[in-house]
Chain A
């Protein structure tokens, strides 16, 4: 194979690879980019049941209810505009408390509730997920 042809072939392969990567990434992004929801986002159109997503907001005051099995809790996530009931089975993080930010990982159920498999509270006094910071700021300015 001549050098020129080889270079052309390599450049072509590279181009195909880059386009393939972008195509794959973008098509997957269409499906998976909406990974983080605030209660207000799902009030109108909840995401498909069964897809792993994150739900973020504040734990509503007085809403944490330990369940009789000893490992599950029910609570309500709010962003000031809407609320979502959440059921979580597992060991809640130590910084998980009422009136505090939380990110729940899990899936929405057909009845609009959320089943969490993992809870992320802030890791220390400096930590808050950036999506949360944005949503909370929006919620606070909208409150009467």
Chain B
């Protein structure tokens, strides 16, 4: 019964999404000529003075006879009724989608093997957490999660958003419903998560053991929150385009969603990187895997959008560019979904290989992105020019940042899609890390330079000479850092060397905006920027340090034999069996000592899972203040020796610490913005 109830809830939610789209569309259409008799808000008529365009809101084109006015007010009343229905429908739609997803989780908790999805992806002997995570650790479940988050976000907009003008909001919710409809159709037609299995299986096939890790259980939802947040930003952009309402008010309404999405993406990518690092046992933290790129591309677009939406919200500049970026950011999350879910590429992360699903998502992709681009091309000409500024200004710096981010995004996109295009033309090839490292690293360094300078430039216009004076301290620190690293380790390669120098400089430059300021009166979002930029410096320092100073030892050792790696001496004391809830393992007992400090024990394992039968390596990692010791147990060689792989990675933890700082900076900004918007009520209506 639970599965049927879940499916019914899903159908109802889909029907409500359709209703939401129809109500909003009809309401806006009927209200278009009559709005002048309604309450006219100044920003509504700001669009374009002439009535020659189809959806003019000022009503100047309609005849002003008395009967016309009566018709107009009746139409306005109907339109208002229709529009009034949109919010409740959106809220109920969100609740129903959530109900459906909760029911799916319930099926997984009960291990109901009469449901295809559960039988294929779960096992009754699995720990409860992984039964729950199994609900989204597969194609159908993850798509249901996608649409659930989208619907809940729609409901949240309906409840929270009171400041944007009503017409723009309704158009936004219509766009939101249109996106949701596509995914409901995808689920109901091509990927029903509640399909029954007859006869029921006696036992499930289990979850891929690589996915049985707390980090990975919560990794996909985190990324999805990010993707969906960008879809909301996209809906805002569409709504603003439809209503010709591109301005600071719209940017302020959109900004929290962009910030929220960006925070989730940042955390998701950071956590995913750390997961790959310790779970795969390869000692690497970024592989330029297409699926990694699929999450990096929306992040790059969201980062650019985050900065340009700030220009729009505070200085009313970069109007069309911001709209364009919102379209691009959502396109990137759709392309990400397409790459991962279509089976067009197979990677560590990709799930189902099913061309029909791939074409369905591709069709949605073309429909949404194509539709948005057409709307963009048609309407953008009517978006008025925002305020202007000199090139040497904060705005100019942000444009520099946006261009560089777009360039990196373009390179990653080309590198990721090129093999697919080549394959379509009959050539098999693949693009790997050498390409991405070579192309993105120099631009990333340039971007760091921009990040250091940007926050020190004034809005609107600034003097180049004064700016150089303000930059003196960071430049000095960067040079000192470069020289110091060169003296300590003259063999360092050029990129890590530059990376470390730039990181030192950026760290100083990031906190410079707080210099000589009253720290208690500095707004929270300024702290957010400082922390996020500092996070980038910390992260880059970690990457450069890992690349330059990692030491690796690969040995076959007998029990009692000593190996040196970095500052550590490692002794294999023995091999013993170990057991877990659904695995058994061989565990190496390593006695590790650093200098004269007290020795400690590390236990890397080779784990065997029975359902499905798989062997995985569990690295043992010792984290200390100046780095990590990373140990992997390999196979016996048949002569009493065991393979051991040992890495000493100085300051590698800074990579993820920096990622967390970046996310924290985003969170501070979000809180700061929300608090400030609350404190200044109705600033938009007055604008």
Contact = CB atoms under 8 A, between A and B. Distances in A.
A52 B348 CA distance: 21
A35 B429 contact: yes
Interface centre among A22, A28, A90 (most CB of B within 10 A): A28
A4 B346 CA distance: 48
A33 B407 contact: no
A40 to B, nearest CB: 11
B616 interface: yes
A20 B391 contact: no
Interface in A17-31: 17-18, 20-22, 24-26, 28-29, 31
B66 interface: no
* Chain B contact patch, size range: 35 or more
Interface stretch (B96-104, B373-381, B434-442, B678-686): B434-442
A71 B643 contact: yes
B282 A130 contact: no
Interface in B606-627: 606, 612, 614-617
B589 interface: no
A57 B496 CA distance: 34
A141 to B, nearest CB: 15
Interface stretch (B17-25, B28-36, B632-640): B632-640
B418 interface: yes
Contacts of A129: 346, 430
Interface secondary structure of B, over-half rule:
mixed
A35 B407 contact: no
Nearest to A127: B346
B403 interface: yes
Contacts of B369: none
B645 interface: yes
Interface string A116-134: 0010000111111111011
Given A29-B431, A89-B554, A1 B411 contact: no
B166 to A, nearest CB: 31
Contacts of A135: 428
A69 interface: yes
A26 B606 CA distance: 42
B388 A3 contact: yes
B385 A7 contact: yes
Contacts of A10: 321, 399
Nearest to B405: A17
Given A33-B418, A35-B434, A130-B346, A22 B410 contact: yes
B523 interface: no
Interface in B474-531: none
Contacts of B403: 13-14, 17
B106 interface: no
Interface string B391-417: 100000001000110111011001100
Contacts of B612: 124-125
25 contacts: A1-B391, A17-B403, A17-B404, A21-B406, A22-B414, A24-B411, A24-B443, A25-B411, A32-B434, A34-B429, A35-B432, A36-B429, A52-B434, A66-B637, A66-B638, A70-B641, A90-B554, A123-B210, A124-B614, A125-B612, A127-B348, A129-B430, A130-B419, A131-B429, A134-B423
Identify the 6 closest CB pairs spanning chains A and B, nearest first. A70-B556, A91-B634, A94-B615, A32-B435, A21-B407, A21-B410
Given A14-B406, A131-B429, 18 more contacts: A1-B390, A3-B388, A13-B399, A14-B403, A33-B435, A34-B429, A35-B430, A35-B434, A36-B428, A51-B434, A52-B433, A71-B643, A91-B632, A91-B634, A91-B645, A92-B634, A128-B346, A135-B428
Interface of B: 208, 210, 281-282, 321, 345-346, 348, 353, 385, 388-391, 399, 403-404, 406-408, 410-411, 414-415, 418-419, 422-423, 428-435, 438-439, 443, 554-556, 606, 612, 614-617, 632, 634-635, 637-639, 641, 643, 645
